[in-house]
Chains A and B, each alone.
Chain A
Amino acid sequence: MPGIDYFYPEFEVVRRDERCIRCRVCERQCANEVHRYDAERDMLISDEAKCVNCQRCVSLCPTRALKIVRSDCRLRENANWDGDTIREVYKQAASGGVLLSSMGNPKPLPVYWDKLLINASQVTNPSIDPLREPMETKVFLGKKPDRMTRDAEGRLKTDLTPQLELSMPVMFSAMSYGSISYNAHASLARAATEMGVCYNTGEGGLHEDFYRYGPHTIVQVASGRFGVHEDYLEAGAAIEIKMGQGAKPGIGGHLPGAKVGPDVSRTRMIPEGSDAISPAPHHDIYSIEDLRQLVWSLKEATGHRKPVIVKVAAVHNIAAIASGIARSGADIIAIDGFRGGTGAAPTRIRDHVGIPIELALSSVDQRLRDEGIRNNVSLVVGGSIRSSADVVKAVALGADACYIATAAVLALGCHLCRTCQSGKCNWGIATQRPDLTKRLNPEIGSQRLVNLLTAWKREIMELMGGMGINSIEALRGNRLMLRGVGLNETELRILGISHAGE
């Protein structure tokens, strides 16, 4: 039945011909093949249907002749059946397939960070000028002792369980080699090392070239156990067990065989062209006791020298789940909120499963305090942390540190077109195509990440100074520093904060 599946393209390419110099940069830069030079007419023409609005052509057009706009040719307005929803029905009616999307949940669901406001000192308890006074942003992640103990001579016993030392409470969260490019990993590894923080391998193994960044690397162990072996475990500063991911709680991962080229194959240690399937659960983990077994097996395999992180998605009973994890022997719990990004996830899961990280964090921190086990573990939160203000708010709600990934790939040039699953990332990040990956220069990429974290660190110090706090440790769980705006009583109760004006 012709025409049913036809949609007027979502975006229009507006080309001002009087500015176009026929340099054909747009044509060469677009992996989606939107632009084409017509020699007969000596002009560039566009196939808008292929455009994903990644802005690559717009950014590189030397004469600013191009812009991409959202098409105004739409279906009749309908607040219930919006255009995307109808389009999704057509796609599924045509294909019978599960809808697959990328990056974080784009739906207009509440962003609680934007409804939290930070305190500042006035008159009493004066604020501190971070340009003059020392400010401590360093954090140590891991189990903290309940009390100080001394030996027979009265000397303090300092044999702590392993800790992850970070110069500031921000790390780059897990993105596997395979989902992102070699140069993206190189940028993250170098920046983490320069900034004294950590990046995370994701579940795709650790490329042989990056073992030298091991002291600033978190190596991940997921249900597929790709690339996991003794040297890999020993290489990292910490080991993360991935139980879940905020963008796709309750389901596994699936790197299509098409993306498993020679290098990805070598790093994941699977044959080229074979699908890399991470089953939804770890099939040996059905209880906290089973999780404990995996945590301890990793500790035994690495001589108890590495902290073990257990990463879970923020879901309804997260406080009880975290309580279990805190008793499993894990040193750090990482919680990933429902706005977290992904290289590919079923649309329905990404947009409808999980809960906001702000509520998950505050309920977990409170639960662990109530049970007297908060010091058993450190808490790391992500999904999504967008700015230094989000970091400060997260720390005040009880986080020891934050994970960032979307912000990091934005720093590397991502324009959030949300089509990572296509493997045709024009910015060279979410792709394995050599002609595209070379567009991301790891020298520049790592410098941009360093810039981002440096700026955030300064802002964190400014915000802390304003509150009269000179150590990030003194901000952690300090909810008196937060007030809510436009939140109902239940939301305020879960967040453990007062309303602004109270």
Chain B
Amino acid sequence: MKTIDAAGMDFTALNELLRATEGDAEIIGCLGQRFIGAGMGKRKLAIHGIPGNALGAYLNGAEIKVFGNAQDAVGDTMNAGTILVHGSIGDTAGYAMRGGKIYVRGSAGYRAGIHMKEYKEHIPVIIIGGRAGSFLGEYQAGGVIIVLGMHTDGKPIVSNFPCTGMHGGKLFLRSRCETVAFPRQVTARPAAAEDLGEIEGYLAEYCAAFDLDKSAILDSPFTVVTPDSANPYRQMYVAN
């Protein structure tokens, strides 16, 4: 495995070097370099430090592990692969992702999973260990978003306006969500055993990645949110 010391390196130089490298790689001293792993196919990449915005954009099969926090737009329009973040992540994680997994040990900023979609066997998954900011799952059109609320610093598991414009997929919050205000076009209900059965495999993966106890996580009430219609705007128009 090739080790790249990114200290003081410009993002274009770092990414150029990464593209020129074959096989697995490790970046040390990462400090805010953007677009790492953009469009990367099947390779493994370990990052020590803090990668900049748009980590793993258009990711196409790579496995990225971040030993630290990541910034905004993690996994933007991701197609396949895995991004594991041992810290927290910024805003708009998984924008329009249609495949692959983003597993975060800590919390996520605004708009996580916005416009996430799915297609046949491509079912994207985001799991956030801590809490999520406002507009979680906005315009969600497919895939699975799970927020575990394991460390919320006393704040609610999700901030304002989750699921606005949701028209596909499922969203799980490990909470009774008594104080969470959902929009009208979705249904939020306590997750039944079969709902949790759907995500057990993902949680097992997540727990293995971060060395957590799955049964302790599941031993707590979950709320599942689904859209009422895949065609939420159908009634709004009149032909002119």
Contact = CB atoms under 8 A, between A and B. Distances in A.
A229 interface: yes
B77 interface: yes
Nearest to B229: A275
B174 interface: no
Contacts of B53: 293
Nearest to B79: A229
Nearest to A252: B139
Contacts of A269: 98, 117, 119, 122
14 contacts: A225-B96, A229-B98, A230-B41, A231-B60, A270-B117, A271-B118, A271-B168, A275-B234, A279-B139, A283-B111, A284-B73, A284-B76, A284-B95, A421-B239
Given A274-B231, A277-B167, A100 B38 contact: no
A228 interface: yes
Contacts of A101: 240
Interface string A409-427: 0000000000101100000
Interface string A268-302: 01110111010100011000000001001100111
B167 A274 contact: yes
The 7 closest A-B pairs by CB, nearest first: A97-B238, A301-B39, A225-B96, A300-B35, A99-B240, A301-B38, A300-B38
Interface of A: 88, 91-92, 94-95, 97-101, 221, 223-225, 228-231, 233, 254, 256-257, 265, 269-271, 273-275, 277, 279, 283-284, 293, 296-297, 300-303, 346-347, 419, 421-422
Contacts of B39: 230, 233, 300-302
Contacts of B165: 277, 279
Contact of B115 (A100, A283, A300): A283
A229 B58 contact: yes
Interface residues of B, number: 50
Contacts of A303: 19
Contact of A301 (B58, B115, B235): B58
Contacts of A229: 58, 60, 77, 79, 98
Contact of A98 (B60, B119, B168, B237): B237
Contacts of B238: 91-92, 94-95, 97-100
B115 A225 contact: yes
Contacts of A302: 39
B160 interface: no
Interface in B200-240: 230-240
Nearest to B57: A297
Contacts of A274: 141-142, 167-168, 230-231
Contacts, number: 142
A178 to B, nearest CB: 14
A116 to B, nearest CB: 32
A92 B238 CA distance: 8
Contacts of A421: 237, 239
Contacts of A100: 237-240
Nearest to A273: B230
Contacts of B60: 229-231
B138 interface: yes
A283 B230 contact: no
A271 B142 contact: yes
B34 A296 contact: yes
Contact of A225 (B41, B95, B119, B122): B95
In the complex, which of the residues A265, A296, A297 has the most CB atoms of chain B within 10 Å of its own CB atom? A297
Given A97-B237, A421-B239, A257 B58 contact: no
Contacts of A273: 230-231
B231 A297 contact: no
Nearest to B111: A283
Interface string B1-35: 00000000001100100010000000000000011
Given A229-B98, A277-B233, A279-B115, 18 more contacts: A100-B237, A225-B115, A228-B58, A256-B234, A271-B230, A274-B141, A274-B142, A277-B139, A283-B115, A283-B135, A284-B111, A297-B57, A297-B58, A297-B73, A300-B38, A300-B54, A301-B38, A303-B19
Contacts of A231: 60
B83 interface: no
B122 to A, nearest CB: 7
B69 interface: no
A97 B236 contact: yes
Contacts of B85: none
Nearest to B54: A297
A235 B140 CA distance: 27
A340 B174 CA distance: 48
A246 to B, nearest CB: 19
B167 A275 contact: yes
A422 B238 CA distance: 11
A273 B231 CA distance: 8
Contacts of B19: 303
Contact of B96 (A224, A296, A422): A224
Contacts of B58: 228-230, 233, 297, 301
B132 interface: no
B235 A97 contact: yes
B63 interface: no
Interface in B81-127: 91-92, 95-96, 98, 111, 114-115, 117-119, 122
A225 B77 contact: yes
A297 B141 contact: no
Contacts of A284: 72-73, 76, 91-92, 95, 111, 114
Contacts of B139: 277, 279, 283
A228 B11 CA distance: 23
Q: Which of B12, B39, B58, B76 has the most CB of A within 10 A?
A: B58
Interface string B46-62: 00000001100110100
A284 B119 CA distance: 22
Nearest to B119: A269
A302 B90 CA distance: 24
Contacts of B11: 300
Given A88-B240, A97-B236, A277-B141, A270 B92 contact: no
Contacts of B240: 88, 91, 99-101, 347
B230 A257 contact: yes
A300 B235 CA distance: 41
Contacts of B98: 229, 269
Contacts of B141: 270, 274, 277
Contact of B73 (A91, A225, A293, A419): A293
A230 B40 CA distance: 8
